[in-house]
Structure 1
Amino acid sequence: MFSKKVVLTIITAILILGGCGNSNSGGFAVSQISGTVATGEAASATVTIVGSNGETVVTNADSQGNYSADTTYLFSPMMIKAVLDRDGSTLYSFTATPNKNVNVTPLTSYIVNHAAVALETSGGASYMFNQFQSANSPSNIDENVQNSITTLNNYISTTMSANDVDGFDHFSDEFSANHEGYDALLDALDIDIYEDDVIIRINSNILNTLNYNIDVNEINASGIIYDITTDNPIANANITATDRMGNSVSTTTDINGSFTLAVETVRVYDFTITATGYEDQLVPNIPSFVFTETSVGDVPMLPTGASGTTALSGRIIDARTADTGISDATLIIRSGFGERLATPVATTSTDSNGTFSINLPYGFYTVEMQHDLYYKVFKNINIYGGSTEYDFSMLADLTAINASTNFFATITLNWDADPSDLDSHLTGPDSVSGRYHLNFANRTIRSSNYYSSNDACSLGILASLDRDRTSSTNGLLPETTTICKVESGGMYKYYVHHYSGTGTMSQGNAEVIVNTKNGTARTFTAPSTNSVGYHDIWHVFNMDSYGNIYPVNEMIGNDVYDSTIFASSSRSSEIGIFENLPSK
């Protein structure tokens, strides 16, 4: 007869062994995994590993792209997500067995995304990562990953042979980011990465993770170059756009400081601006991933020899509740526009009211804002002359806040002082009226089955316009929209309407940022093509119920019938929702 002690020991052993299993595939936890994050160069990154049981660990890849993590409590299979420090782009990887080495590269990201699509995981890799986090990972992933590897290798076999890496396992074979061997393969391939999209060009074939078709070869990149000391345009400035492979195209600015340059679609460019009598200017990581045009924006230039120091001050606020300052936020300041990796030239933090102040030499800087409960924010700023004040905003991280299960996506609209008022408009499926229209006159959409007086994502709230900005300050104070719940199979459409004020949305540097709970993020800048100004309507993007974002990025019309560009016969049927809006 067993004693109670023996029985308890046996039961404990059974529970421990049972706890090692994967509820989906019977896998076992591994004690540690490590690997290399690389894109053709070493990539420092934040690495998140999630097991099929929903448990996660977070670690960092160092400047050589090396990472390691204790995964004792994670069940296999596992997914890995690396957010690159250099530009915030995201790569994915996968392991079905307790491998001790798991690489994260553009090739693993491409393979995982296509395996997810083959599994009818319509949101691709980002959506499948979210399924893992919910302990609801799909079955047969490994089989589809192997099929995707075969497909990719058929395309790149010649390049693999040329670099002596035939038979190399993209996921588990070890390599170093030293431009040799497998890393030389990544160097040789024509790869572009933007946000969580990967583009691989093989001769006339374009392999990609996009959820939309590439139907144009070139688009225009435009911008305005001006003197920061006088605000006057700079004529005859030289503009050069260079892609990752070193190919470049150039032009010069006209008498108004404007330029337009044809660039290839779905690439990422670094723009270099030079002008006699001015310091050179670099604007990096300008994407051409939307198929109308891309904007470099209004780029200031500092005269050669200009020097001095001035105070940078301001406030960081919560993007959804503008009256709430964010305390203990860290500001990391680096010299140059779009600079995320260089050694900081200064750091400071906000006080209990969210305010900050710091002295900086004249110049151009990238400000990185960090807080544990908010998405990182990067902003380009100009420092010249008297004291400079900027009010910044940060958006609560849907994966970090306790209420994240009640949020599906957040949309932030930023712009400068002019135009004085731009408005967010969202339409989505509604079981009662067919489609709802969220706007400043109808700021909360509720389910017909529930009622709530709160504007947050509480019971019954489908979507809310959290802030309707009607005036501007020097900083980019936002207008924010939250999608709380989505209808399966539904399509959500987001627009911006020029309600009042001078200039165009493009001239006002209008920018839309959308973040989904799945981890997808997209940034759009207002196009200048077909833009009249007052009453323009910008159709920014559509989004499905998986969180897939489909870029539109077009000025679709103007709600004034006598528009000089949009005749009644060519007006979009969508414009009707903007007519007869009430006054504010």
Structure 2
Amino acid sequence: MKKNLLLISIILFIGVSMSFYSCKKDSADENVGDANLTGVVINSQTGLGLANATLYFTRNLTATDFNNADYTVTTDGNGNFTLTNAVAGTYICFVVSNGFFQRIITGIVIVSGTNTLDPVTLVDAPEAGNLRIVLTWGLAPSDLDSHLTGPDGSGGRFHMYYSYKNPNQNVSLDVDDTSSEGPETTTISGHYDGMYRFSVHNYSNKYETTAGNAIKTSPAKVELYDSNGLVQTFNPPTFTGSGDTWRVFEITYSGNSYSVSAKNVYVMATSTGDMTIFKSTNEKVGQLNIENF
């Protein structure tokens, strides 16, 4: 009788052990698939790849952090990464790097085989009191340009753009991209009281009255940051009328405080070259009419 009980116990133990092993094996296999994903993480302040950034991927579409991510990958010295043997599905990705604001990307669909993620820009946190503006877009048009105008402290208005990246000590075009996708990064490190206006000009299709439509369909996106993180995101409105420039927003400074007003209209930013129409003290503005920036 004792031998029979011992035999039954051994059989039950083996069965439970095999069942437990099978569950563990199935759980592990849940994260092994036939999908691969490649991409690049970009430094907002250089326009180059960001090394040692970490990307956490999760299929939990309600996740608010990356603590239980299904996969983790790190960028190489050029900012590139490769995720291999992933399970096909829809993911959230948390992208983090020391000194940069975390970016969360939702709705990433990964299918069996090879996949490519659009370039991811991580924004370097500006110093307290500073603002940072980041423009990104798609493969076409190849060249969208950032334009910032504002009071120059002498009764006129400065004009910051690709030919005049540092019109004064308070503003700078940190990155000017001419080969698609961006980023283009502008930093406001000081200010005078008054209105500052940020616009996006379609340089690739300049002088075309319907060039604004390509800004919309690219699609372009503008993000405004302060030292605490993202302040506001701007997306171009549906194109109507005519224009080659998206007037995005205006910032009005009063002392140490500021307010942001979305404009979201299209205007033509060309002229016949008559310099009397320019209000900027910068005489290098060429054919870009500052009244439209």
Report the TM-score, using the length of structure 1 for normalisation.
Answer: 0.37
**1:245-289: CA deviation from partner (whole Å, max 9, x where unpaired):** xxxxxxxxxxxxxxxxxxxxxxxxxxxxxxxxxxxxxxxxxxxxx
Taking the aligned partners of 1:530 and 1:578, their CA distance within structure 2 comes to 27
Closer/same/farther in 2, CA of residues 339 and 479 from structure 1, 3 Å limit = farther
Q: Displacement, 1:414? A: 0.8
Instruction: For 1:176-195, list aligned pairs within 5 A.
Output: none
Matched, 1:479 2:203: no
CA contact (8 A) 1:311 1:386 kept: yes
Aligned match of 2:153: 431
Q: Is the 8 A contact 2:132 2:188 kept in 1?
A: yes
Q: How far apart are residue 560 of structure 1 and its match?
A: 5.9
User: Is contact 1:531-1:555 (8 Å) kept?
Assistant: no
Equivalent in the alignment of 2:236: 526
3-state SS, counterpart of residue 504 of structure 1: helix
Measured in 1, the distance between the counterparts of 2:268 and 2:45 equals: 28
Alignment partner of 1:356 is 2:81: yes
2:102 aligned residue (369, 373, 376): 376
Query: In the aligned structure 2, how far is the partner of 1:336 from the partner of 1:498?
Result: 38
Is the alpha carbon distance of 1:433 and 1:421 closer, same or farther for their aligned partners in structure 2, counting shifts above 3 Å? farther
TM-score by length of 2: 0.69
Which of 34, 37, 57 is equivalent to 1:312? 37
Q: Percent identity?
A: 30
- Distance (Å, rounded) in 2 between the aligned partners of 1:445 and 1:389: 36
C-alpha displacement of 1:531: 6.1
Match runs of 1:404-419 below 5 Å: 404=127, 408-419=130-141
Does residue 69 of structure 2 align to residue 344 of structure 1? yes
Contact 1:334–1:340 (Cα < 8 Å) also in 2: no
- Residue 504 of structure 1 is matched in structure 2 by 214
> Contact (CA 8 Å) 1:465, 1:480: kept in 2 or not?
yes
Question: Any idea what SS the aligned residue of 2:102 has?
Answer: strand
Q: Does 1:328 align with 2:52?
A: yes
Q: CA deviation at 1:580?
A: 0.9
The residue that corresponds to 1:468 in the other structure is 176
Q: Corresponding residue for 1:397?
A: 125
Question: What amino acid is the match of 1:551?
Answer: S
Call closer, same or farther: CA 1:560–1:491 in 2, change over 3 Å: closer
The Cα offsets for residues 344-394 of structure 1, whole Å up to 9 and x where unpaired, read as 332212233322110333443332111221011123434345342543221
Distance 2:63 2:142 in 1: 30
Return the letter of the residue paired with 2:246.
Answer: W
Does residue 420 (structure 1) correspond to residue 142 (structure 2)? The answer is yes
Aligned-partner residue type, residue 110 of structure 2: I
Amino acid paired to 1:392: V
Distance 1:339 1:504, change over 3 A: farther
Kindly tell me: are residues 549 and 414 of structure 1, through their superposed partners in 2, closer, same or farther at Cα, counting changes over 3 Å?
A: farther
Separation in 2, partners of 1:365, 1:334: 5
Q: Please report how far the alpha carbon of residue 522 of structure 1 lies from its aligned counterpart in structure 2 after TM superposition.
A: 0.8
Distance of aligned partners of 1:558 and 1:315 in 2 relative to their CA distance in 1, 3 Å threshold: same
SS at match of 1:523: strand
Distance between the aligned counterparts of 2:174 and 2:45, measured in 1?
6
Q: Distance in 1 between matches of 2:61 and 2:267?
A: 33
Aligned-pair Cα RMSD in Å: 3.1
Which residue does 1:388 correspond to in 2?
A: 116
- Whole-angstrom CA distance in 2 between matches of 1:415 and 1:442: 22
**Residue 332 of structure 1, CA deviation:** 1.3
Larger RCO, structure (CA 8 Å, separation 6 or more): 2
Q: How far has the Cα of 1:429 moved from its partner?
A: 0.9
Post-superposition offset of 1:395 = 1.3
In structure 2, the residue matched to 1:552 is 262
Match of 2:18 in 1: none
Alignment-derived partner of residue 458 in structure 1: none
- Contact preservation (8 Å) 1:332, 1:346: yes
Structure 1 residues 512, 339: CA separation in 2 closer, same or farther (over 3 Å shift)?
Answer: farther
Contact in 2 for aligned 1:516/1:547 (Cα 8 Å):
no
Any idea what the Cα deviations from partners look like across 1:143-201, whole Å, max 9, x if unmatched? xxxxxxxxxxxxxxxxxxxxxxxxxxxxxxxxxxxxxxxxxxxxxxxxxxxxxxxxxxx
